[in-house]
Amino acid sequence: MATQTPTQETTEFGEVSRLKGIAFKYTSFAASIVGILALGVLLAYVFWDAFGLESAGTTWYLSYTVTLLVPLLAFFAYARTRPDVVAGAFELFSLTLGGVMLTVATVIVLSVIASPPVWFAYFLTVVGPAIGMYVYGQYNREATWVGLGILAAVVVGPVVGTLGLGTFSSLGAMLGAPGIYFLSLVLPGAGMAAFLAHDRLELSKRQSIGIGVGLPVLAIVGVPVVDMVPQIARSVWLIGLVMFGLPVGFTVVNTAQRRERWAAFAFPAIAILGFLLGEFVVGVVGATEPSPWLDWQYVTSGPSISNAAEAGLYPAIIGSVFLIVLVSVFTFVFGVGTAIYLEEYAPATGPLGTITRLVNVNISNLAGVPSVVYGLLGLGIFVNINAQLGPITYAGFGVGTVFTASLTLSLLILPIVVISAQEAIRSVPDSLRQASYGMGATRWQTIRNVVLPRSLPGILTGTILALGRAIGETAPLIMIGAATTKFSPPSGLFSKLTAMPMQIYAWAFQPSPDFRYGVVAAGVVTLLIVLLTMNSVAILVRNKYQQEAH
């Protein structure tokens, strides 16, 4: 040892220069700070305007700082070193927001886009049978006809539903909207809740059955209570119970079951109590409150072009929901289909392989094409073309209609969806495919049982992020002639629409500063809330599945 051999000389190690590395590190740091700061300033600025914070008095700020801001900051400081608490709080927060959005979207889709009896007709012919067969297939795994049955329901069901629309919808009309929602949402939702409780939350059989029975009972018992509140229709109560109640209930129980996450409950508690306490304090001391542009009136009324105080985003919100629903269906079906074909079926070598490579390169290029060009494409093929194919006349889908707009936006994000799905499929280790083929599985069995389950989180994340891009687009909508301002929401696939970014764009040109600052800012915040919610749900989905895969 060194101490026992003092005669040995000490070696000089010298020092290695790290100058370049240090310079690089701080440059990168500065670059990232600039980006984050710019975003933060923008957000603060928009929020300031949207909620009219400048008109609030000092006492108002003081009250909320004490009741809400300080407790929240304290919570963040506490949670900083506890990843479990952060994860739990994030889950509670994003699933609550997601539940609200899901409820709003469902209400809009089921009662504004399709009338309840029409929904009932398709529930009877498509959704109901498909769900029924899927559930049966889960219990009786030997039943190999289930997959085909579901496919048949999805293909044949719409035809049957359309042919028998009169009969089915008069049946639905007899039930009334609440009855329809009870049958088509609450009952399947109760089944799902019981399943989740037993399978995912690992509650006992009796508790799970209790949940399954309790949900419909709660739905019925709640009706008289809801009737006393004029703002909430019975339908909204039933839809909300399923679409908001299920995800929120699930996370609450899930969080409650994990002791290390209990502290996460402090987050909603602080937020809600702090808000109520703030309201109370402000009322008592009589502080001047802010006059927000973004309020209930804003999201429920049509756009005024003369009176900023009466302006609302309702038609544009409905238009955007229409777009999200249709675009997600189109891009998921075509995008994932294309990706699976290119990755799993298309030949990689030989002359056909050259074509595959060409297609791949082109898809990457298409992802970079400016959106205004897609608008032009949409204008060309969905609006302006007039073609006569024998007896069939194709004259496009109309200027600025829901259908034209959603097809155009689908084209715009299709390359992004395809690329991200390809990426996800490619990340499935080849050894798993080999294992499956080695067991004598067919290609379809391998895709269905090995490739898709493994790549689904990636596919979903990519699709949701791409959808976020689609709902923020303005240029393609302008190109296909969508209205910038509409006073009523679209009522069907071929009615004209406007979307949130379009309406915001239109307001930005109003001469009155109230429009240019207040109303526009409120629109931007609404759009951002929708986008951020979608993104957080995407993150949650990814984390969830990644954990399950291990």
Partner 1 sequence: MTTEDMATETEAQDEADEDSLISTDPGKGGLDENADRGGVTSGKTIIHSRDLDVFYGETQALQHIDLEIPENQVTAMIGPSGCGKSTFLRCINRMNDLIDIARVEGELSFKGKNVYDDDVDPVALRRRIGMVFQHPNPFPKSIYDNVAYGLRTQDKTDDMDAVIEESLKKAALWDEVKDRLDESALDLSGGQQQRLCIARAIAVDPEVVLMDEPASALDPIATSQIEDLIEELSEEYTVVIVTHNMQQAARISDKTAVFLTGGELVEFDDTDKIFENPDSQRVEDYITGKFG
Is the distance from CB of 505 to CB of 484 less than 8 angstroms?
Answer: yes
Burial class (CB in 10 A: 0-12, 13-18, 19+), 82: middle
Kindly indicate which of the ranges 181-189, 314-322, 448-456, 491-499 contains the residues binding partner 1, using the contact rule CB under 8 A. Answer: 448-456
Determine, following the binding rule CB under 8 A, whether residue 347 of this chain makes contact with partner 1. yes
- Please give the C-alpha separations between residue 188 and each of 108, 132, 177, 182, 185, in angstroms, as whole numbers: 20, 9, 16, 9, 6
Instruction: Identify the residue among 70, 449, 492, 509 touching partner 1 (CB under 8 A).
Output: 449
Nearer to partner 1 by Cβ, of 362 and 442: the residue is 442
Tokens, residue 190: 């109760």
* β-bridge partners, 393: 388
Instruction: Note whether 41 binds partner 1 by CB under 8 A.
Output: no
* Pick 234 or 454: Cβ nearer partner 1: 454
The verdict on 198 binding partner 1 (CB under 8 A) reads no
What H or E segment, with its residue span, contains residue 62?
A: helix 58-64
* 362: contact with partner 1 by CB under 8 A: no
Query: Of 329 and 549, which has the nearer Cβ to partner 1?
Result: 549
Q: Which of 484, 428, 468 is nearest to 451 (CA)?
A: 428
Quick one: angle between helices 500-507 and 520-548, nearest 10?
150
Beta carbons within 10 angstroms of residue 362's beta carbon = 11
- Please say which residue, 143 or 269, places its beta carbon nearer to partner 1: 143
CB of 433 to partner 1, least distance (A): 8
Among 9, 15, 54, 142, binds partner 1 (CB under 8 A): 142
Is 14 a binder of partner 1 (CB under 8 A)?
no
Rounded CA gap, 313 and 498, in Å? 10
Size of the site for partner 1 (CB under 8 A): 27
Q: What is the DSSP letter of 404?
A: H
Look at residues 295, 201, 289, 189 and name the one whose alpha carbon lies nearest to residue 244: 189
Can residue 547 be called a binding residue for partner 1 (CB under 8 A)?
A: no
Q: Of the two residues 6 and 438, which places its CB atom closer to partner 1 in the complex?
A: 438
Region binding partner 1 by CB under 8 A among candidate stretches 174-182, 320-328, 450-458, 494-502? 450-458
Closer residue to partner 1, CB minimum distance, 234 or 433: 433
Region class of 56: left (phi > 0), else alpha (psi between -120 and 50), else beta: beta
454-467 burial by CB neighbour count: b if 16+ within 10 A, else e? bbbbbbbbbbbbbb
Q: Is residue 549 part of the contact set for partner 1 (CB under 8 A)? A: yes
CA distances from 437 to 126, 423, 453 (A): 34, 21, 16
Judge contact between 81 and 323, C-beta under 8 A: no
Structure tokens at 112: 């504004």
What is the nearest approach in angstroms of partner 1 to the Cβ of residue 192? Answer: 21
Smallest distance from the beta carbon of 429 to partner 1, in angstroms? 8
Q: Which residue, 170 or 354, has its beta carbon nearer to partner 1?
A: 354
Q: Within 13 A of 222's CA, how many CA atoms are on the CB side?
A: 19
CA-angle at 398, arms to 410 and 505, nearest 5°? 65
Among 442, 488, 494, 544, binds partner 1 (CB under 8 A): 442
Token pair for residue 159?
Answer: 């035809």
Residue 546 touching partner 1 (CB under 8 A)? no
Residue 349 interacts with partner 1 (CB under 8 A): yes or no: yes
Choose between 141 and 206: whose C-beta lies nearer to partner 1: 141
Looking at the chain, how many residues does it have?
A: 550
200 binds partner 1 per the rule CB under 8 A: no
Footprint of partner 1 on residues 258-317 (CB under 8 A)?
none
**Near partner 1 by CB under 8 A, which window of 61-69, 100-108, 118-126, 446-454?**
446-454
For position 144 contacting partner 1 by CB under 8 A, the verdict is: yes
Residues 422-441 that bind partner 1 (CB under 8 A): 429, 431-441
Counting contacts by CB under 8 A, is residue 9 touching partner 1? no
**Among 381-389, 414-422, 443-451, 468-476, which window interacts with partner 1 (CB under 8 A)?**
443-451
Would you tell me which residues interact with partner 1 (CB under 8 A)? 141-142, 144, 347-349, 353, 429, 431-442, 445, 449-450, 453-454, 549-550
